[in-house]
Amino acid sequence: MTLHFSKMHGIGNDFVVIDCRAAPLGLSTAEIRRLADRHRGVGFDQLLTIERADRADCVWRYDIYNQDGSHAGQCGNGARCVALWLQRAGVLPSGTVRLQSPSGVIEVEMRDYKTVRVDMGLPEFSPAHIPLLIDAEADSYTLEIAGQRLSFGAVSMGNPHAVIQVEDIAAAPVAALGAALEHSAHFPQRCNVGFVEIVARDHVHLRVWERGVGETLACGSGACAAVAVLRRQKLVDEKVRVSLPGGDLQLEWPGPGRSIHMSGAAEFVFEGEWLA
């Protein structure tokens, strides 16, 4: 089977995008893992499929697969790449457009050729909805992780996130603590783990360990999670620049009951065919 794909990235968070509007993906978990291999396949952080929506209020649907073949609930950088892909295909209406994602409806708007603004929806702090196996909701939680007491905030942005504040982002133990917290029994669906350093009330540095992937150059939902957790703790302002290893995102969250909006770049890298 020959599979046509687009390689794209959003500030370094890279994707293989496959047009599944006419037929379903048809790849097994093992085949997705082969495609994700950066030495023997194409390589990606996530695989995105473009599909027909089954909701009348959405123009298109997209699905998300991690490197290990597992499903992801949301991907902010991926949503921007989906919007750019649809625009190039000539099937993205102008203005604000509703897309059906694995975690629900989101809204996207092309600001220029490579800049997309995404309504990422409401952050969900309830432990039951993250899900996080903790009795009571709080701004911060403390658990014994990898032999140490670890404090973190937790939120769902369509997928579960833990957010750890650090003094020095360069020295953050992303791989060790990220993997340990991802697989903690307190997170029954695993979790993404963000390590955030506050530079100023309108600027933070962030590194993210993504479940099923590892550390990535950028994570859009992780940026939203970090801002939501920090703003809830009154540590940042409504508008925040989030600097990740791959580049910057602009985040805006007025507060509880309001959506988080994210703006950033999306780019094509190349087109290709994979012999599955």
- Residue ranges at the known binding site for substrate: 13, 46, 66, 76-77, 159, 192, 210-211, 220-221
What is the Cα–Cα distance from 64 to 190, expressed in whole angstroms? 16
Give catalytic status of residue 191 as yes or no.
no
Tokens representing 121 are 């929806």
Q: What is the CA radius of gyration of the chain?
A: 18
Amino acid in position 171: A
For residue 36, what is the enclosing H or E element? helix 29-36
Catalytic residue among 20, 81, 191, 219: 219
Q: Name the nearest CA neighbour of 148 among 194, 117, 180.
A: 180
Amino acid in position 263: S
Catalytic residue among 75, 81, 191, 224: 75
Give catalytic status of residue 75 as yes or no.
yes
Tokens representing 257 are 């009951």
For residue 31, what is the enclosing H or E element? helix 29-36
Would you give the distance in Å from CA 89 to the centre of its chain? 23
Pairing of strands 13-19, 2-10: antiparallel
Active site residues: 75, 219
